[in-house]
Copies of this chain bind each other. A is one copy, B any other.
Amino acid sequence: MHDIIINEKILSKNMEIAAENRERLKNKGIFTINLISSPGSGKTALVEKTVEALKDEIKVAVIEGDIQGDLDTQRLMKFGIPVRQINTGRSCHLDAHMIRHTLPGLFDQGEIDFLIIENVGNMVCPAEYDLGEDLKVSVMSVTEGDDKPLKYPAMFHASNYLLINKVDLHPYTNFDLERAKANALKMNPELKIFETSCTEGTGIEKWIDEMRGKLADKPKD
């Protein structure tokens, strides 16, 4: 019970800071997504594909959230875009405060149209911590089991998009795509679902086009 009271206080403070982040990002006309998933669902590969497809059209930047290390940041350096690493230490999620402190350094690296935040791999707490993003994007891979939306409802409930990733591995698993989608939609009927594979390129163009549409809708000063 005591833990829950502490948690509510932390979450309420987080919401305040997230609202400030949202205002700052909006003022700069930056469209921001927050990628949430279990470790190993292929978030970083999706970020690579998205950056690769859009970097010559618009200005993309990335914030990488990890407990420790900068392996993902290193993977993204090859694109020559602004990337900032946040190491959360023992915290299992990014929070709005971490993002607030990261934005100035990112803004110093030049104009940004599209900011991708890759959260720490965790299906639970990242869903509760608003960072100031425009949209939350959940990722699950077909190797994780089609019951995950029923077991980790908050993530699916909080998200605008769900990418069902690694569909190239689908033939080798007992994952039921239709059941997974039905389970996800049970948690959130508004969820827009894409099936993707970064190794075979399946669904990537459709996903990028969706982001292009969102970017076109974003007012730029």
Contacts and interface: CB of A to CB of B under 8 A. Distances in A.
Interface of A: 3-4, 6-7, 10, 38-40, 66-69, 71, 90-92, 120-125, 128, 140-141, 143-145, 147-148, 150-154, 166, 168-169, 172-174, 199
A145 B148 CA distance: 19
A7 B10 CA distance: 12
Q: Determine chain A's interface SS by DSSP, over half rule.
A: loop
6 smallest A-B Cβ distances: which pairs? A40-B144, A92-B124, A143-B143, A38-B39, A38-B38, A40-B145
Copies in the complex: 2
Contacts of A123: 39, 121-122
A39 B151 contact: yes
B40 A122 contact: no
B169 A125 contact: no
A12 to B, nearest CB: 14
Contacts of A128: 90
Given A40-B143, A172-B172, A173-B169, A92 B125 contact: yes
Contacts of A40: 38, 140-141, 143-145, 148
